[in-house]
Amino acid sequence: MKGIKRYCIIVLIMTFGVICNGFSAQAIDKEFGSIAFQHLSYLSQNIGERVAGTKGEERARDYLFQAFEDLGYDTEIQAFSYTNRGTTVDSANVIAIKRGSLKEEIIIGAHYDSVRGVEGVEDNGSGVGVMLETAERIKDLKIPYTIRFIAFGAEESGLRGSNAYVAKMNASDIANTKAMINLDSLIVGDNMYVYGGLGKKGFVRELALDIGKEIGIGLQTNPGLNPDYPKGTTGDWSDHAPFHQKGIPFGYLESTNWEIGDMDGYTQTEKHGGIWHDPSKDNMRFILSEFPERMERLNSYSHILTKLVLQLAAAEPSSIEHINRLVEYARDEGGITNDGAARALSTHLTAVKHYEDKGSIDKAAKHMKGFVQLLEHQKNDGQISDKAYHILKVDSMALEKKWNK
Ligand SMILES: [Zn+2]
């Protein structure tokens, strides 16, 4: 056993070298992926199997509660029970909140339980690790929206944790939740995917794909080869499903391969088929020996998720009202120091709104372009901060793009 342990440590160090090249950190001075890997290692090696209702799941829950608390999040445990073959099973979600000044919120979720017999490296230590890394990266940033991280219990027993959470949401909770991002099984699949809803509700997926392109990561979406799962979407088999059923737009990150097997996303790799739920494969030793370079995915997904959350939480591409709120927010937070500048922006938005209300969408789009030019001008004059400029520009351009479609 000692030999195996030493082997693991050497491989871990070697793999860590792979993870540690790449992107420069934004919010904190650590390489993307490194924090996710630490948490993943603890969950899979120090705790191991985390079956719902067992000591393993409870230990993982305590660990996650402490990890979020240590980061300074307002953290709570949401207990729930369900019946499985006549026996009551107790589990719980761990919820960590960073409150913003606006009522809108973004939820990021990953289940921390596992099936029996696995270390749960892939399913789903990987998702929990990336979630915690993102929590660490954004914890000190001023973000308009509320950010809520949820580590779900008992996903493998039928999405129990996410169902329990959604069952407690009231109508305004649902209306204020602008997006839910689910992370489940991120390392070993042949390709990196993001899925979302159909039509306008697919905006989280589209944004993630844009970010992937921008930072040079080969993120793609389900090509839709299987008619049961149209292009861009996925099945209702993970914690995004209860949110999706309530009409909340979702994004879902996963590594698998939609072009092999039954083309249902279930066969993750050409080399070894599905890794998840297989005790001989979903463990550190197997993954590091068969797919060592794919640990790098922790880096890629942490980078994408951090950017995705920041963009979603500051900029919802939907309305003039929203951009107006962002102007107010920027002024309150000191991003716009000059009252005249704030007034000029509001006046311009009122004009755009006027055209929108009249149904002159072409004119509205043209004036929205003018708004972006005004922002640029104000930034160059030092009237608004770079950050305020960026937040307002992302949202404004998204709105203009929507109108130009
Ligand atoms: Zn899973």
CA of 70 to the centre of ligand 1 (A): 26
Q: Please check the confidence at residue 177 and state whether its pLDDT lies above 70.
A: yes
pLDDT confidence of residue 2: 37
Q: How many CB atoms lie within 10 A of CB 76?
A: 13
In whole angstroms, give the CA distance from residue 346 to residue 142: 22
Q: Please check the confidence at residue 60 and state whether its pLDDT lies above 50.
A: yes
Q: Please check the confidence at residue 390 and state whether its pLDDT lies above 90.
A: no
Contacts of 102 (CB under 8 A, 6+ apart): 144, 145, 146, 325, 329
**How much is the mean pLDDT over the chain?**
89
CA of 159 to the centre of ligand 1 (A): 10
For tokens 């342990």, name the residue.
5
CA distances from 255 to 15, 191, 231, 266, 276 (A): 18, 5, 16, 10, 11
CA dihedral 278, 284, 285, 289 (to 10 degrees): 100
CA distances from 201 to 98, 220, 233 (A): 24, 17, 11
Q: Which helix (H) or strand (E) holds 180?
A: strand 177-183
CA of 78 to the centre of ligand 1 (A): 20
CATH homologous superfamily of 2-314 = Zn peptidases (3.40.630.10)
CA of 48 to the centre of ligand 1 (A): 15
Q: Please check the confidence at residue 391 and state whether its pLDDT lies above 90.
A: no
Q: Please check the confidence at residue 179 and state whether its pLDDT lies above 90.
A: yes
How far is C-alpha 319 from the geometric centre of its chain's CA atoms?
A: 23
pLDDT confidence of residue 405: 65
In whole angstroms, give the CA distance from residue 405 to residue 401: 6
pLDDT confidence of residue 9: 42
Q: Please check the confidence at residue 326 and state whether its pLDDT lies above 90.
A: no
Query: Per-residue pLDDT tens for 120-161?
Result: 999 999 999 999 999 999 998 878 899 999 999 999 999 999
CA of 162 to the centre of ligand 1 (A): 12
Exposed, middle or buried, 317 (CB in 10 Å: 0-12/13-18/19+)?
buried
Q: What confidence tier does 189 reach under pLDDT thresholds 50, 70, 90?
A: very high
pLDDT confidence of residue 127: 98
pLDDT confidence of residue 41: 98
pLDDT confidence of residue 20: 30
CA of 1 to the centre of ligand 1 (A): 29
Q: How do the domains of the chain map onto residue ranges? A: 2-314, 320-404
pLDDT confidence of residue 385: 87
Q: What confidence tier does 323 reach under pLDDT thresholds 50, 70, 90?
A: confident
pLDDT confidence of residue 311: 83
CA of 201 to the centre of ligand 1 (A): 23
Q: Please check the confidence at residue 24 and state whether its pLDDT lies above 80.
A: no
Q: Which helix (H) or strand (E) holds 87?
A: strand 87-98
CA of 345 to the centre of ligand 1 (A): 46
Q: What confidence tier does 211 reach under pLDDT thresholds 50, 70, 90?
A: confident
CA of 321 to the centre of ligand 1 (A): 38
Token digits of residue 164: 């329990």
CA of 184 to the centre of ligand 1 (A): 5
Q: Please check the confidence at residue 14 and state whether its pLDDT lies above 50.
A: no
Q: What confidence tier does 338 reach under pLDDT thresholds 50, 70, 90?
A: confident
Query: Per-residue pLDDT tens for 230-266?
Result: 999 999 999 999 999 999 999 999 999 999 999 999 9
pLDDT confidence of residue 28: 58
Length of the chain, please? 405
Q: What letter would DSSP give residue 125? A: I
pLDDT confidence of residue 77: 98
| Between 376 and 7, the higher pLDDT residue | 376
Q: Which helix (H) or strand (E) holds 352?
A: helix 339-358
For tokens 């240590």, name the residue.
70
Mean pLDDT, residues 376-391 taken together: 87
Q: What confidence tier does 23 reach under pLDDT thresholds 50, 70, 90?
A: very low
Query: Per-residue pLDDT tens for 66-103?
Result: 999 999 999 999 999 999 999 999 999 999 999 988 88
pLDDT confidence of residue 10: 40
CA of 401 to the centre of ligand 1 (A): 35
In whole angstroms, give the CA distance from residue 300 to residue 315: 22
CA of 119 to the centre of ligand 1 (A): 12
